[in-house]
Structure 1
Amino acid sequence: MAVFKTLLALCLSAGIKAQSSTTASSATCSSTIAPQHGQPSVAAGWNVQVVASGLTDPRGIIFDRSGNLLVVQQGYGISSLQLTNDNGACVRAQGDPRDIVVDATLNHGIELSDDGATLYASSPSAVYAWDYDGNDGGRNTSGPRTLINEMGDEDGHVTRTILLSRQVPGMLLVSRGSMSNLDPAALDIGTGVSTIKAFNISNVTDQAYKFAEEGTLMGWGLRNSVGIGEDPATGAIYSVENSVDNFQRDGENIHQNNPGEEMNFHGYLNGTEAEEQGRNYGYPTCYAAWDVDEIPNNDQIQVGTQFAIGNQNSTNNDTLCQNDRVAPRLTFAAHMAPLDIKFNTNGTAAWISFHGSWNRDVPIGYKLSVVAFENGSPTAPANSNTAAIDIMTNPDVSRCPDECFRPVGLAWDSQGRLFMSSDSTGEIYVITRDQGGSANEASPSSGLPSSATAATSPSATESTGSAAEKNGFGKASAWAELIALCMALPLM
C-alpha cells in the first residue's frame, strides 16, 4: 500500500504539472477573461479559455459565414458576438453583444441556412425564419415567418432543438420533449410529445406545418432529446436524451444511478434504410440500465439494456422493453443531462455537453466529453460505460451546480475551434488543441486522449456510477490504470 500511495502521489504531481501546461498559452494572450468559478480541469494536450462573459443564460450557439457568433440568450432573444482574429485560444469577443432578434420566447434552438441568408430559431410553440445578413456584425432583415407550429406551450420541457441537415438540403430536424417527468401523452404517437421529426422547409408555403400531424418521424418515446447531431461521414442522425428522474422499480427507489442517459440512433434523411428509424425508444415505460447491480429482479440486464419502470405486468415488462423498443447506441451515467452533440467534419468524434445533475445526492456531469466514431457509429460497444472521454470538467463537482460552469450549446468556427456556452455562468468558452492544429480534425488516432489521459477531478469515479466505486484501488485493474496514467503524462 505504501508503494501504491507513493506512485499515486507522483502521478498526481505530474498530473498537476501536465494540467497547468494546457493553460499556459493564456499567458501569451493580449487579454484574458477569468472563468467565473476558476479554471476548469482540462485533458492533457488541450486548452480552454473564456471568450465572453456577462451573457443572459446563453444556450444554442452557431457561427455565421462572416465569423459572427450568434447566441440564443434564453428569455431575451438572439445576439451576435464579434470576435477578434487571434489564433488558438486567444480569441475574444469585441464590445457588447448586438441584438439580432429580441423575443423573450426564444430559448434554445438556432440554425442558419447553408448560404447564411436565413436564420432559424424556436420557441416552445413554433419554429421561425428570418432573412439574415452577416455583414457588419449581423442583422435580421425581415419579420419572422412561422415554419412549424402547434408544438405545445410552456409545460414541462420547453426547448425545441432544431438541426438543419447538411446531407439533405432543406430538411430541418425538430425535437420536442415531454410535458412532465412521466408524461402519459408520450404513449400516444399522435400527440407529437417526446418526438423527433424532420420537415422539408424548402417548400414551405404560407401554411405552416403542424408538428404533431406532419413531418417525417425519426423516433418517438424520447423523453427529452435536447441534443441532435448528423454524422457528416454517413448522414446518420443521433440524439442525446435526458432520461427520467425519481426512478422506481418493483417498489425500490434506484434513481441515484438509474436509468442512464442515452445516445440514440435514428436512421438517415438521405434514403438509406435503417430499422430504427421512426420507432419507439421506450419512454415513458422503458429505460436504459446504468448501474446494473442496483436494479431489482435483474434478469441478464447489462449497461444499456432496456428495462421496465415500476411493477412489471402484462403490458409493462422487461420482455416488451427489450423486444419491441429501440435500445440506445450508448448509455451514460444517470442525471448527466446531455444537451448538445456536435460531430467533427470527418465523423471520427462526437462532442457532447453534459449540463449536470439535480436529481442525485452526489453531483455528476458538468463537463464536456467526446465519443470516438467510425463509419457512422461509436467505436465502443453498446454496453460500454467508458465510451465518453472527458476533455473539460469542473475541478470540484461537489460545488455544483451553484459554483460550476454548466455546458449547453456547441459550435465549430472556421479555424476548427470548438465553442461552448455555459448558461449558469453567462460564459462562452473556446476549446483548442494545446500544440496547434485543428480541434475539429482531432480523432482517436490524431489527438483525442485515451481514458487514461482524460481530464480528472476529485469526483472522477462518479462518472461511471457506483460500479466504478466497487472496482476501486484495491484491485489489479486499478494498478494497471494508474501505471497507464503515469506513462501518459509528459516528462517535466
Structure 2
Amino acid sequence: MTGRLLAALLILAPSMALAAQPRTGTAAFGDWRADRPGVQRLIRPGDLPAPYATDSVATQPDVVARPKNRLPRVPAGFVAELVAQGLKIPRVLRTAPNGDIFLAESGAGQIRVLHSGGGDPAIFASGLNRPYGIAFYPPGPDPQFVYVAETNKVVRFPYSPGDQKAGGKAEIIVDGLPNGGPHWTRDIAFSADGKKLFISVGSASNAGERMGEKSQTAIADWEGRHGLGAAWGPEAGRAAVLTADPHGGGLRTFAAGIRNCSGLAIEPSSGALWCATNERDGLGDNLPPDYATSVREGGFYGWPWFYIGANPDPRHDGARAELKDRVTVPDVLIQPHSAPLGMTFYEGEAFPVDYRGDGFVALHGSWNRGKPTGYKVVRLLMKDGKPTGAYEDFMTGFVLSDKTLWGRPVGVTTGKDGALYVSEDANGTIWRVRKAN
C-alpha cells in the first residue's frame, strides 16, 4: 500500500485506524491530557503494576462554571447540545418506552421527566431520599409502574405512558436496604423477562477495613446463606448486587465482591446483567482498574480480599486465600480511579451501524490520583454481543486543567430519537449528542 493511499484511508476512516491500534500496556494508562474522541484503550490483567508502585494521592480539580461557548468534544460527524441546566445533582437517566426521559435529581430528592416533545423537565415525584436508580415495570411498551431506588429502599409509583406526574403515592417494594457510609447510590434494573429486580448496593468502606475476620466454620455458614464471598459485619448485604421478585419478595444476593456497582444495564442481545463498578483506592495511581462487566449469578468479583482476579489486596495480609482461584475477572478494565457511574447499551438507529449494541459508560472522574482521569463518556466496543475488552473515548473536554473542571458525567441513556443523553452533576446540566445533519 502506498503512503499516499494509506494517508487517504486515515483521513476517510479515522475510527477504523484507531480501532486497529488501541493503546495497550502502560500506554493504556494516563490522564485527561491524552483524552480525545476516538482514542481507544485495552487494559489487560497482566498490565497491572504492583501495589504502591506510586504514592496514593488525594487531589481533585476544582469545579468552575462552564466557560462561555465551551462544549464537550464528540467525534467528527456528531454534535453536542445543551438541553437542560440549573439542576441539583442530576444523576441517572432512563428512557421510558414512549420516549420521555426520566432523571434522578438526587440533590433535590426528586424524579424529573424530560418530555419527548421538549420543554422544561417536569417533577414526577419529590420528597425522596437521594433517589438514583429508575426502572419501568413490566418491561415492554406499556409499563404500569416507575420503580425508584432511594438510598435505603426501593419504591414504585403508578404510571401510564406520558404521565408527567406520578399517578399515586409511593409504594415500598424493598425496605431497609443497607445505607450509610460513602457509597449511597442504589441502581436498579429488571431482567428482560421482568421476573427479577436487580438492586446494586455499594460497600460501606474502601477495602473492608472494619469487617474483621471470622472462623472458617462461621465463614462457611455465612456463605452458605448469603453466597460466595458475601461480606459480613458492617458490610453485610453490601458490595453486591441483590435480587428480588418485582414485588420485593425473596430478596437475596445475586453476586458478591463488587465494591460499588454504580450502574446497572441489561445487554440486549444476551439479556445479561452488566455493572459499571468503582474499584478501591489507596494502592497507587494505576491500581486497581475500575471496570464494566457482565455479572453472573453466584459470581464473586474479589472485593475486599482480591482485585481483577487472583491479585491479593496487601491490606488484608493473605486473608481468604481459598478464594484466590474463584474470583471472576471483569470483562472491560477501565483506567483506575475513573469512577464509572451510569451505563447503557446503544439500541438506536441514528448513529452509524457499528455503534449498534455497543455500551456507553459515564466516568465521573478521579480523586485518588496525581493527575486527573475520567471525566468523560466512553464507548465499550462489543462484537456480536460480546465485549472485546477495549473501550473508546466518546465525549471528552470537561477538564480544563490539572486544577479545574466544569463537568462530571453521570447518567447515559439513548433517546427515542437515537441520540445519546448525558447528565453531569458538576454544573447540573444535561446534554444531547446526535449525528450532525
Same-fold status (TM-score > 0.5) = yes
Query: Normalization by structure 1: what TM-score?
Result: 0.65
Deviations 1:234-254 (A, max 9, x none): 11111111011112xxxxxxx
8 Å CA contact 2:241–2:255 kept in 1: the answer is: yes
Q: In the alignment, residue 173 of structure 2 is paired with which amino acid?
A: L
Whether 1:118 aligns to 2:150 is: no
Q: Secondary structure at the match of 2:301?
A: coil
The offset of 1:367, in angstroms, is: 0.5
Deviation of the 1:375 alpha carbon: 3.5
Matches for 1:233-382 after TM superposition, within 5 Å: 233-247=269-283, 255-267=284-296, 277-288=297-308, 305-310=309-314, 313-315=317-319, 322-345=324-347, 348-380=357-389
Q: Which runs of 5+ in 1 are unaligned?
A: 1-6, 16-21, 23-33, 85-92, 248-254, 268-276, 289-304, 381-386, 436-492
Matched, 1:102 2:126: yes
Output the CA distance in 2 between the equivalents of 1:395 and 1:229. 25
1:390 aligned residue: 393
Could you say if the C-alpha distance between residues 330 and 306 of structure 1 is closer, same or farther in structure 2, counting changes exceeding 3 Å? farther
Q: CA 1:321 to 1:376, structure 2 compared with 1: closer, same or farther past 3 Å?
A: farther
- Cα deviation for residue 61 of structure 1 reads 1.4
Residues matched between the structures, number: 347
Unaligned 5+ runs, structure 2:
1-6, 16-36, 38-65, 212-229, 349-355
Asked whether the equivalents of residues 90 and 107 of structure 2 are also in contact (C-alpha less than 8 Å), the reply is: no
Amino acid corresponding to residue 264 of structure 2 in structure 1: I
Q: Determine whether 1:194 maps to 2:239.
A: yes
Q: Is the 8 A contact 2:178 2:237 kept in 1?
A: no
- In structure 2, C-alpha distance between the alignment counterparts of 1:37 and 1:178, rounded to whole Å: 39
- CA 35–220 in structure 1, closer or farther in 2 if over 3 Å, else same: farther
Q: Considering fraction of residues, name the structure with more helix.
A: 1
- Return the alpha-carbon distance in structure 1 between the equivalents of residues 205 and 68 of structure 2: 32
Which one has a bigger Cα radius of gyration? 1
- List per-residue Cα deviations over 1:143-180 (Å, max 9, x = no partner): 11111122123322111101122x21242111000112
Question: Any residues of structure 2 matched to 1:6-17 within 5 Å, and which?
Answer: none
Q: Offset at 1:45?
A: 2.6
- Amino acid across the alignment from 1:394: G
TM-superposition CA deviations, 1:207-243 (whole Å, max 9, x none): x54xxxx435331011101111111111111111101
> How many percent of aligned residue pairs carry the same amino acid?
25
Q: Distance in 1 between matches of 2:413 and 2:419?
A: 8
CA distance, structure 2, for counterparts of residue 37 and residue 200 of structure 1: 48
Contact 2:399 2:405 in 1 (8 A): no
| Cα pair distance change 1:410/1:395, threshold 3 Å | closer
CA distance in 1: counterparts of 2:399 and 2:201, whole angstroms: 33
Task: Please give the alpha-carbon distance, in whole angstroms, between the structure 1 residues aligned to 2:175 and 2:69.
Answer: 39
How far did 1:52 drift? 0.9
Q: What code does the residue aligned with 1:229 have?
A: A
Task: Quote the Cα distance in structure 2 between the aligned partners of 1:218 and 1:36.
Answer: 46
| Residues 101, 256 of structure 1: alpha-carbon distance in 2 compared, 3 angstrom cutoff | same
Shift of 1:395: 5.8
Q: Which amino acid aligns with 1:194?
A: A
Q: Secondary structure at the match of 1:258?
A: coil
Change (3 A) 1:345 1:133: same
Report the Cα offset of residue 427 of structure 1: 0.6
Match of 1:220 among 222, 247, 256: 256
Contact 1:239–1:264 (CA under 8 A) maintained in structure 2: yes
Is the Cα–Cα contact under 8 Å of residues 348 and 373 in structure 1 kept in the other structure? yes
2:198 equivalent to 1:173: yes
The letter of the residue matching 1:278 is G
Match of 2:22 in 1: none
| Contact 1:363–1:397 under 8 Å retained in 2 | no
Matching of residue 44 in structure 1 with residue 70 in structure 2? no
Listed one character per residue, the Cα deviations across residues 356-385 of structure 1 (whole Å, up to 9, x for unaligned) are 1111120001111101112332023xxxxx
- Give the secondary structure class of the aligned counterpart of 2:401: helix
Structure 1 residues 395, 307: closer, same or farther in 2, change over 3 A? Answer: same
SS at match of 1:41: coil
SS in 1 for 2:325: helix
How far is 1:66 from its partner?
4.0
- CA–CA separation in structure 2 for the residues paired with 1:431 and 1:321: 43
8 A contact 1:53–1:427 mirrored in 2: yes
Paired with 1:106 and 1:335, the residues of 2 have a C-alpha distance of 23
